[in-house]
Amino acid sequence: MKDGPDIARLAALIGDPARANILTALMSGKALTASELATEAGVSPQTVSSHLRKLEEGGLTTVLKQGRHRYVSLSGDDVAQALEGLMGLAAGRGHLRVRTGPKDPELRHARVCYNHLAGERGVQMFRAMRACGHLALDGDAVTLTDTGTRFVTDLGIDLAELEKSRAPMCRECLDWSARQYHLAGTLGRAMLTRMEHLGWMSRASEGRVITLTTQGAARFDTLFMPDRASQSV
Amino acid sequence: MKDGPDIARLAALIGDPARANILTALMSGKALTASELATEAGVSPQTVSSHLRKLEEGGLTTVLKQGRHRYVSLSGDDVAQALEGLMGLAAGRGHLRVRTGPKDPELRHARVCYNHLAGERGVQMFRAMRACGHLALDGDAVTLTDTGTRFVTDLGIDLAELEKSRAPMCRECLDWSARQYHLAGTLGRAMLTRMEHLGWMSRASEGRVITLTTQGAARFDTLFMPDRASQSV
DNA sequence: TTCATAGTTCGATCATAATCGAAGCATGGA
DNA sequence: TCCATGCTTCGATTATGATCGAACTATGAA
């Protein structure tokens, strides 16, 4: 009995170490060049060329050519979502790197997941916004409430700009480290960008770790603590 | 940069066709013997023995020995969840079997997903129960309401029995065919079992298709149509 | 125009792992 | 006890696919 989608082919695409490293690097949401990805994966340019072709043919990545540069990115949110799901299962089953790097705790604390905030901080933010009634849930749908609209507008987010996009504004994304949900979608992205702009947090030039400044952490905790968020609004 | 969980190893486990077939068969929620899985995967007993060892070591399956029989099952809901996520991505990317069998539409309509109802029917049920206020959502948490308690009790479900289990009673499970959520957890399982008992639907002896009787479909639609469910309670 | 850089294609190499025949062990039934 | 059945282990075979050196194409800058 062989029915339903063919997960073997898709999983085999992800199951090569070099390709897994490429996909993981692309989880930052950045579009990276083939050369950068060759460095990330630790293989030669010719090898990465071959891998990228397979990923593109499999529908996991898209490529944008600009002159002699080819910018590669994940082909959509759903790829990121499935990868996070695999990460969650891998973490839950103890499938960890042999050498857990010094960045592991930092990744768990705060990291970028396809351009939005993930890790403990991401979960904290999502939970606080729900607790304060800024976000409402209806099944799989997450919507911004009236108080939420005021909240994010006060924070400096241009909602009119977000509404121009056809992508969902709010979406739940299962966090592999916290095993809870954090906020994805265009609003999730805008929140991270805004907090970077405010100087609360910054992304490393390489990798996915997000670092909060001392002041940024304080401001973040002020805004996103459930029993304190009400007072600030 | 090689950080976070090792998805390559896990994906490679799933990425072998024989093992993917095994895991897909186990999505029915039944515990199957090694011989049955050898038939499912279309390989010899010695090959399946080798594959099962890998899946068990990887934490994806558990084995229960009874005499000379070894009963294999998925090691948890989270495995089923990640597999469904991969199925969704595979379906969305057109990674389908070369020969889409005659069972494909039936699988999309109603199928068993780790012992609970999936497919269009599963989504319909979950949606209707939320619309009628029988289920309440708070982030990732799904809870049975007072009206929901009465509803399922009237349907013949023994909630006291369900509450004895440590497993979550209600959980959302993303449906690969419908791209929406259906109800999982012990309640989701109990609902399917109950409707089978009422003769509304039955599982094929092999595979995961669920067939509704004419009368069963009528009763199902009566109970789980959002604008009609209120009248029946 | 020349040179440097980004990236692809070709083909050979080689490591890996799925596969099954043969043999053996464990269990159950007559 | 003997035979049948379920399952595992061992070892050889073979197909697959990742890999990179060599060579090439395309683009950009001086």
Residues in B closer than 8 angstroms to A19, CB to CB, are 8
Q: How many CA atoms lie within 13 A of A78 on its CB side?
A: 17
* pLDDT, greater one: B61 or B229: B61
Compute the distance between CA of residue B9 and CA of residue A121 in angstroms, rounded to an integer. 28
Structure confidence at residue B50 (pLDDT): 96
Do residues A170 and A135 make contact, with C-beta atoms less than 8 angstroms apart?
yes
Q: Which CATH architecture has domain B7-75?
A: Orthogonal Bundle (1.10)
* pLDDT, greater one: A207 or B132: B132
Nucleotides of D under 7 A from a protein CB: 5-11, 17-23, 26-28
Do residues A98 and A194 make contact, with C-beta atoms less than 8 angstroms apart?
no
Do residues A22 and A51 make contact, with C-beta atoms less than 8 angstroms apart?
yes
Structure confidence at residue B229 (pLDDT): 43
Alpha-carbon torsion, ordered A194, A196, A201, A205, to 10 deg: 150
Structure confidence at residue B140 (pLDDT): 58
Contact flag, residue A9 CB and nucleic strand D, below 7 A = no
Give the tokens for residue B64.
């229960």
Residue of A nearest to B26 (CA): A1
Please give the protein residue whose CA is closest to the C1' of the nucleotide C10. A46
Alpha carbon of A205: minimum distance to chain B alpha carbons (Å): 12
Determine the nucleotide nearest to B45 by Cα–C1' distance.
D7
What ipTM was assigned to the predicted interfaces of this complex? 0.80
Residue of B78, B86, B127 with shortest CB distance to A10: B86
Buried b (16+ CB within 10 A) or exposed e, B72-94: bbbbbbbbbbbbbbbbbbbbbbe
Compute the distance between CA of residue A192 and CA of residue A205 in angstroms, rounded to an integer. 15
* pLDDT, greater one: A97 or B174: B174
- CB B217: neighbour CB atoms within 10 A? 15
| pLDDT over 90 at B161, yes or no | no
Name which of A14-23, B123-132, B176-185 the model is least confident about: B176-185
Structure confidence at residue B170 (pLDDT): 87
Contact (CB<8Å) B9/A1:
no
Give the tokens for residue A104.
């592991």
**To which residue do tokens 């339903």 refer?**
A4
Nearest-10 crossing angle of helices A214-223, A119-131: 30
Please give the protein residue whose CA is closest to the C1' of the nucleotide C5. A68
Contact flag, residue A174 CB and nucleic strand D, below 7 A = no
Residue of A nearest to B88 (CA): A5
Contact flag, residue B53 CB and nucleic strand D, below 7 A = yes
Question: Whose CA is closest to B29, among B60, B64, B67, B75?
Answer: B75
* pLDDT, greater one: B190 or A169: B190
Please give the protein residue whose CA is closest to the C1' of the nucleotide C25. B68
Contact (CB<8Å) A40/B1:
yes
| Mean per-residue pLDDT of chain B | 86
| pLDDT over 60 at B2, yes or no | no
Parallel, antiparallel, or unpaired: how do β-strands A32-33 and A61-66 relate?
unpaired
Query: Phi and psi of A99, rounded to 5°?
Result: -105, 100
Q: How many CA atoms lie within 13 A of A68 on its CB side?
A: 1
Give the tokens for residue A123.
């979960």
Alpha carbon of B65: minimum distance to chain A alpha carbons (Å): 22
Give residues with Cβ within 8 angstroms of B8, minimum separation 6. A14, A15, A16, A17, A19, A20, A21
Residues in B closer than 8 angstroms to A2, CB to CB, are 21, 24, 97, 101
Give the tokens for residue B41.
């995967």
Structure confidence at residue A229 (pLDDT): 43
Using CA atoms, how far residue B95 sits from A10, A50, B11, in Å, is: 7, 20, 16
Residue of A nearest to B79 (CA): A89
Chain segment B206-233, per-residue pLDDT in tens: 778 899 999 999 999 999 984 544 444 3
Per-residue pLDDT band at B181 (split at 50, 70, 90): confident
Structure confidence at residue A140 (pLDDT): 58
For every one of its 233 residues, what pLDDT tens digit does chain A have, with 9 covering 90 and above?
455 678 999 999 999 999 999 999 999 888 999 999 999 899 999 999 999 999 999 999 999 998 889 999 999 888 988 898 898 888 888 776 655 556 778 888 998 888 889 999 999 999 999 989 999 887 557 889 999 999 999 999 999 888 887 777 888 887 878 778 889 888 999 999 999 999 999 988 777 889 999 999 999 999 998 454 444 43
Do residues A91 and A148 make contact, with C-beta atoms less than 8 angstroms apart?
no
Contact flag, residue B48 CB and nucleic strand D, below 7 A = yes
- The domain ranges of chain B are 7-75, 81-232
Q: What percent of chain B has pLDDT over 90?
A: 53
Alpha helices in chain B (DSSP H): 7-14, 17-26, 34-41, 45-57, 77-92, 104-109, 119-131, 146-155, 159-163, 185-197, 214-223, 226-232
Give the tokens for residue A162.
């977000």
